[in-house]
């Protein structure tokens, strides 16, 4: 096994593992500052912030020979016998030099910079920089230009790490970004008339280590230190990118990708990134209502479960439509609940929204045509319990021939997902419960209108297109008046206390073979459910 020595501490590498000095040091708990290096991009070793000392340990004698000069940790592979020293006078002097250099022409306008609080230049300067400014130059020019609809460039804040340029060439592939000019006159720019407009554009803001690239959507809306970050999973498409929801007092300000080597690496698409606005849409439905003689009347959440239970229990033939926006736990709870009343209750898969074709980028990152997070998970819950999959279209067809006493439809779609002709098919259903986020023709013809939750408000798990299950907890509370699906179903099933998605997941992983790989728990990168399927074969 390969052994690397970092500041005297031995680090073991797995067989075939290829990591650099920065990564090796991180394992030893040593943080090597860096700007230009990013694990997802080619190594350029140009910022020179990650300079360390390196050498080799002779395997026979144990004697260590060090190189006389500093080397960039990013460029130096950690192999058996490699020695890294990440601390010391020489290294600190080099870091102080780079910090001083980078600040020579930097405006130091942190008080008005969005990046303040999460800025590498700020943090590293605090840790490694000089206390005094020796450069006799006052650089404040504050030039700003828009690179595209999503990203703005504060020219003078840039430290020329070129991460964004490499991203546009290596990951998104449209190569809209460039460096112009040479030497100290260099700047980042786009070619006139060719803005940064690819669907991964927002990522350049994430990878910008300083405040040069600003997210126009987020700009000046919130200081980063006021926000709390919650791990979540993007509900925009069936890729299911690992994300962070960043909010303050239940208001979301931005979504950020969360590293997941099995799903999205370090990236997410703009569709997902900016796809949270509906969470705070004033048109959100917030009151549970019951159809009465004189139109709809409000129902209290405290009495609602009992009322629904009574009505449903009196129904003989029940169908539930399980939206691919539901979590696995939601779908399982609702399915189990209705099957408890009607053993033959029809479990229907809600409409699976698709848009165009899958879009694959040079890096392999893919935006899927399937615009929902949990088609696979809901499908498997249905198949697992009912042994057959009834699609939405099947169901609409069956509505003409079969009669149902009660139908419960779950929605959660961002856009109009049903029309009058669909609603008409449900007109003869005595008990139509529609649980949704926005009003629709179907909603307007419901017996019971139940407001639902959005992705950021739910607890539970999604299964992405590749059978990877990821679990998450709520990031913001739903608007006043809304009870999440999970909580409602929990109460319908008369489970004790508050909704516990983990307990539901434990139940379903025991019951449904497909999910069994998640029985032991789910780590931050999720669980590959195929592991189990392969074993079955």
Partner 1 sequence: MTNDRILTDEMVAEIKAFFPRYPSKQAVTLPALHIVNERLRHVPLQAVVEVAELLDLSPAQVQDTLTFYGFFKQDEPHGRVRAWVCRSISCHLRGADELLEHMCEKAGVEPGGTTADGKLTLEFGECLGACEYAPCVLANETLHKCVTKEQADAFVESLE
Partner 2 sequence: MAEFEPVLLANINQDDSHTLRGYESCGGYAGLKRVLGGMSANAVKELVKESGLRGRGGAGFPTGLKWTFLPKDHPGPIYFCLNADESEPGTFNNRILMEEDPHQVIEGLIISCFATAASTAYFYMRYEYPLAWKRVQAAVDECYAAGYLGENILGSGYSLDIFLHRGAAAYICGEETGLIESLEGRRAWPRIKPPFPAVEGAFRKPTVVNNVETAACVKQIVDRGADWFRSIGVQPDPDNPRDPGSFGPKLYCLSGHIEKPGCYEAPLGITVNELIDKYGGGVWKGRKAKAAIPGGISMGLLTVDEFDCPLDFAGPGKYGCLGLGTAAVVVVDETVSMVDFLHNSCQFFSHESCGQCTPCREGTSWALKMMNRIKAGKGRLKDLDLLLEIADNIGIIPGTTICGLADGAAWPMKNAIRKFRGEFEEYIKSTNPDGYQETNPVPVWETIGAH
Q: Which residues bind partner 2 (CB under 8 A)?
A: 43-49, 51, 67, 69-72, 75, 93-94, 97-98, 101-102, 104-105, 133-139, 141, 143, 159-160, 179, 181-186
Q: Applying CB under 8 A, does 193 fall inside the site for partner 1?
A: yes
CA distances from 173 to 356, 488, 532 (A): 20, 45, 36
98 contact choice in partner 2, partner 1, none (CB below 5 to 8 Å, kind-dependent): partner 2
First and final C-alpha spacing in the chain: 33
Q: How far is CA 335 from the centre of its chain?
A: 27
Choose, by CB under 8 A, the member of 98, 103, 177, 456 that binds partner 1. Answer: 177
Instruction: Name the minimum Å distance from CB 175 to partner 1.
Output: 4
- Segment contacting partner 1 by CB under 8 A, of 66-74, 128-136, 178-186, 215-223: 178-186
43 contact choice in partner 2, partner 1, none (CB below 5 to 8 Å, kind-dependent): partner 2
Handedness of CA 251, 371, 261, 170 (dihedral sign): negative
Phi, psi of 443 (to 5 degrees): -55, -45
The H or E element spanning position 158 is none
Q: Specify whether the CB–CB gap between 30 and 87 falls below 8 A.
A: yes
Q: Specify whether the CB–CB gap between 444 and 425 falls below 8 A.
A: no
Q: Applying CB under 8 A, does 181 fall inside the site for partner 1?
A: yes
Dist. CA 511–CA 350, nearest whole Å: 22
Q: What 3-state class would DSSP assign to 53?
A: strand
391 contact choice in partner 2, partner 1, none (CB below 5 to 8 Å, kind-dependent): none
The three-state (H, E, C) secondary structure of 249-272, written as one string: CCEEEEEEECCECCCCECCCCHHH
102 contact choice in partner 2, partner 1, none (CB below 5 to 8 Å, kind-dependent): partner 2
51 contact choice in partner 2, partner 1, none (CB below 5 to 8 Å, kind-dependent): partner 2
Q: Applying CB under 8 A, does 352 fall inside the site for partner 1?
A: no
Instruction: Name the minimum Å distance from CB 482 to partner 2.
Output: 51
- With vertex at residue 459, the alpha carbon angle to CA 504 and CA 259, rounded to the nearest 5 degrees, is 115
Token pair 């139109």: residue: 295
Question: With 0-12 CB in 10 A as exposed, 13-18 as middle and 19+ as buried, what is 51?
Answer: buried
- Segment contacting partner 1 by CB under 8 A, of 123-131, 175-183, 226-234, 363-371: 175-183
- Segment contacting partner 1 by CB under 8 A, of 98-106, 180-188, 386-394, 527-535: 180-188
44 contact choice in partner 2, partner 1, none (CB below 5 to 8 Å, kind-dependent): partner 2
Q: Applying CB under 8 A, does 42 fall inside the site for partner 1?
A: no
Instruction: Name the minimum Å distance from CB 359 to partner 1.
Output: 18
Phi-psi region of 8 (alpha: psi -120 to 50; beta: other; left: phi over 0): left
Q: What 3-state class would DSSP assign to 480?
A: coil
Q: For residue 458, which of 283, 325, 308 has the smallest C-alpha distance?
A: 325
- With vertex at residue 410, the alpha carbon angle to CA 407 and CA 413, rounded to the nearest 5 degrees, is 145
Q: Applying CB under 8 A, does 231 fall inside the site for partner 1?
A: no
Choose, by CB under 8 A, the member of 85, 113, 153, 190 that binds partner 1. Answer: 190
Instruction: Name the minimum Å distance from CB 10 to partner 2.
Output: 25
What is the C-alpha R_g of the chain? 27
Give whichever of 93 and 531 is closer to partner 2, judged by the CB atom: 93
Q: Applying CB under 8 A, does 44 fall inside the site for partner 1?
A: no
193 contact choice in partner 2, partner 1, none (CB below 5 to 8 Å, kind-dependent): partner 1
Q: Applying CB under 8 A, does 169 fall inside the site for partner 1?
A: yes
Give whichever of 135 and 180 is closer to partner 1, judged by the CB atom: 180
Choose, by CB under 8 A, the member of 155, 178, 341, 386 that binds partner 1. Answer: 178
Please report the DSSP string for 430-467 in residue order.
SEEEEEESS--HHHHT-SEEEE---GGG--EEEE-TTS
Q: What is the DSSP letter of 115?
A: T
452 contact choice in partner 1, partner 2, none (CB below 5 to 8 Å, kind-dependent): none
Alpha helices in 137-259 (DSSP H): 163-170, 203-207
- Segment contacting partner 1 by CB under 8 A, of 174-182, 332-340, 459-467, 490-498: 174-182
The pairing of strands 187-190 and 177-180 is antiparallel
Q: Applying CB under 8 A, does 220 fall inside the site for partner 1?
A: no
- Segment contacting partner 1 by CB under 8 A, of 86-94, 125-133, 186-194, 490-498: 186-194
137 contact choice in partner 1, partner 2, none (CB below 5 to 8 Å, kind-dependent): partner 2
Instruction: Name the minimum Å distance from CB 148 to partner 1.
Output: 12
Q: Applying CB under 8 A, does 192 fall inside the site for partner 1?
A: yes
Q: What 3-state class would DSSP assign to 110?
A: helix
Please tell me the count of residues contacting partner 1 according to CB under 8 A: 18
Q: What is the DSSP letter of 5?
A: E
Q: Catalog residues that contact partner 1 under the rule CB under 8 A.
A: 165, 168-169, 174-182, 189-194
């Amino acid at each position: 096994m390969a052994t690397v020595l970092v500041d005297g501490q031995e680090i073991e590498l797995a067989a075939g593992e290829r990591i650099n000095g920065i990564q090796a040091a991180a394992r030893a708990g040593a943080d090597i500052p860096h700007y230009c290096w990013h694990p997802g991009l080619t190594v350029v070793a140009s910022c020179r912030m990650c300079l360390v000392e390196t050498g080799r340990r002779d395997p026979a004698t144990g004697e260590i020979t060090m190189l006389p000069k500093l080397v960039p940790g990013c460029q130096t592979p950690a192999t058996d016998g490699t020695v890294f020293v990440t601390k010391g006078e020489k290294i600190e002097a080099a870091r102080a030099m780079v910090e001083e250099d980078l600040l020579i022409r930097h405006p130091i306008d942190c008080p008005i910079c969005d990046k303040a609080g999460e800025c590498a230049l700020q943090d590293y300067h605090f840790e490694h920089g000089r206390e005094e400014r020796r450069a006799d130059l006052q650089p404040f020019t504050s030039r700003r230009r828009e690179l595209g609809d999503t990203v703005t460039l504060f020219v003078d804040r840039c430290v020329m790490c070129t991460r964004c340029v490499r991203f546009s060439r290596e990951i998104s592939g449209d190569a809209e970004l460039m460096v112009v000019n040479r030497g100290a006159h260099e700047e980042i720019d786009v070619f006139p008339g060719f803005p940064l407009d690819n669907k991964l554009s927002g990522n350049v803001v994430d990878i910008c280590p300083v405040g040069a690239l600003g997210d126009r959507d987020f700009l000046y809306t919130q200081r980063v230190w006021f926000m709390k970050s919650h791990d979540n999973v993007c509900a925009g498409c069936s890729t299911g990118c690992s994300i962070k929801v960043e909010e303050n007092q239940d208001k979301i300000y931005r979504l950020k990708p969360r590293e997941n080597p099995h799903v999205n690496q370090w990236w997410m698409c703009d569709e997902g990134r900016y796809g949270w606005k509906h969470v705070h849409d004033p048109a959100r439905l917030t009151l549970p209502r019951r159809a009465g003689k004189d139109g709809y009347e409000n129902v209290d959440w405290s009495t609602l479960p009992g009322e629904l239970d009574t009505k449903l229990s009196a129904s003989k033939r029940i169908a539930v439509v399980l939206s691919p926006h539901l979590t696995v736990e939601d779908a399982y709870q609702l399915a189990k609940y209705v099957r408890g009343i009607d053993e033959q209750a029809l479990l229907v898969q809600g409409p699976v929204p698709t848009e165009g074709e899958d879009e694959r980028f040079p890096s392999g990152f893919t935006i899927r045509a399937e615009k929902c997070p949990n088609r696979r998970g809901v499908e498997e819950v249905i198949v697992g319990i009912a042994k057959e999959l009834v699609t939405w279209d099947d169901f609409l067809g069956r509505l003409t021939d079969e009669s149902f006493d009660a139908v419960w439809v779950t929605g959660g779609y961002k856009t109009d997902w049903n029309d009058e002709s669909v609603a008409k098919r449900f007109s003869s259903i005595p008990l139509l419960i529609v649980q949704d986020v926005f009003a629709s023709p179907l909603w307007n013809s419901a017996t019971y209108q139940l407001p639902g939750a959005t992705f950021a408000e739910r607890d539970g798990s999604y299964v992405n297109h590749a059978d990877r299950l990821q679990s998450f907890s709520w990031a913001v509370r739903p608007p006043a008046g809304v009870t999440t699906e999970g909580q409602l179903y929990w109460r319908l099933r008369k489970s004790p206390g508050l909704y516990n998605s983990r307990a539901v997941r434990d139940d379903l992983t025991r019951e449904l073979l497909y999910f069994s790989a998640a029985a032991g728990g789910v780590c931050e990168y999720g669980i590959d459910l195929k592991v189990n399927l392969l074993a079955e074969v």
